[in-house]
Amino acid sequence: MTSTFTTTDASRGIRHRRPRRSVAPVLVPAVIWAGVAGVLALWWSDTSSVVGPAGWITGAGRITGLLAGYGCAILLLLMARLPLLDHTVGTDRLARWHAWGGRCTISLVLAHTLLIIWGYSLTSHSNVVGQTSTLVLHYPDMLKGTIGFLLFLATGVLSARAARRRMSYETWHYLHFATYLAVFLAFGHQLSDGADFVGNRPARIAWYTLYVGVAALVAWYRFVLPVRRGMRHRLRVAAVHPEAPGVVSVHLTGEHLDELGGVPGQFLRWRFLTRELWWTANPYSLSAPAHPRHLRITVKSAGGHSSALARLRPGTRVWAEGPYGGFTARRRTVPKVLLLAGGVGITPLRTLFETLPGQVTLVYRARHAEDLALRGELDAIAARRQATVHYVTSGTAGYSSSLTARGLSDMVPDLAAHDVYLCGPPGMARTATEALRRAGVPARRIHHESFEF
Per-residue pLDDT tens, the chain, 453 aa: give them.
Answer: 344 444 444 334 444 455 556 677 889 999 999 999 999 999 998 887 788 899 999 999 999 999 999 999 999 999 899 988 888 888 888 988 998 999 999 999 999 999 999 999 999 888 989 889 988 888 888 888 899 899 888 888 877 776 667 776 667 777 777 888 889 888 888 888 888 888 889 999 999 999 999 999 999 998 898 888 888 999 999 999 999 998 999 999 999 888 887 889 999 999 999 988 888 888 899 999 988 889 999 999 877 778 889 899 999 999 998 899 888 898 898 999 999 999 889 999 999 999 999 899 999 998 888 889 999 999 999 999 999 999 988 754 444 457 889 889 988 989 999 999 999 888 889 999 999 999 999 999 999 877 665
Give the pLDDT confidence score for residue 19 in this predicted structure. Answer: 52
**Residue 440 — φ and ψ, nearest 5°?**
100, 5
CA-to-CA distance for 37 and 41, rounded, in angstroms?
6
Give the pLDDT confidence score for residue 153 in this predicted structure. Answer: 87
Taking the model in full, what pTM does it have?
0.80
Burial 437-449 (b: 16+ CB within 10 A, else e): eebebeeebbbbb
- 235-244: strand order across its sheet: 282-285, 267-272, 317-324, 235-244, 247-253, 294-300
User: Taking a C-beta distance cutoff of 8 angstroms, is the pair 232, 304 a contact?
Assistant: no
Residue 245 buriedness (CB in 10 A; 0-12 / 13-18 / 19+) = exposed
CA-to-CA distance for 399 and 407, rounded, in angstroms?
12
Give the class (CATH, top level) of 234-324: mainly beta
Q: By C-alpha distance, which of 266, 328, 327 is closest to 297?
A: 266
The SS3 assignment for 168 reads coil
Helices 346-355, 375-385: crossing angle, 10 deg rounding: 20
CA-to-CA distance for 247 and 240, rounded, in angstroms?
10
Amino acid letter, residue 77: L
User: Taking a C-beta distance cutoff of 8 angstroms, is the pair 207, 190 a contact?
Assistant: yes
Give the pLDDT confidence score for residue 112 in this predicted structure. Answer: 94
Burial 13-31 (b: 16+ CB within 10 A, else e): eeeeeeeeeeebbeebeee
Q: Where are the alpha helices (DSSP H) in 125-177?
A: 128-138, 142-159, 161-164, 169-175
User: Taking a C-beta distance cutoff of 8 angstroms, is the pair 387, 12 a contact?
Assistant: no
Q: By C-alpha distance, which of 398, 232, 426 is closest to 321?
A: 232
CA angle 435-439-442, nearest 5°? 95
User: Taking a C-beta distance cutoff of 8 angstroms, is the pair 43, 196 a contact?
Assistant: yes
Q: By C-alpha distance, which of 186, 205, 224 is closest to 71?
A: 186
**Which helix or strand (DSSP H or E) is residue 448 part of?**
strand 446-448
CA-to-CA distance for 345 and 2, rounded, in angstroms?
19
CA-to-CA distance for 369 and 365, rounded, in angstroms?
9
Q: By C-alpha distance, which of 391, 400, 399, 405 is closest to 437?
A: 405
Give the pLDDT confidence score for residue 25 in this predicted structure. Answer: 82
The SS3 assignment for 239 reads strand
User: Taking a C-beta distance cutoff of 8 angstroms, is the pair 70, 36 a contact?
Assistant: yes
CATH classification code of 3-18+332-448? 3.40.50.80
Q: How many CA atoms lie within 13 A of 28 on its CB side?
A: 20
Give the pLDDT confidence score for residue 395 in this predicted structure. Answer: 55
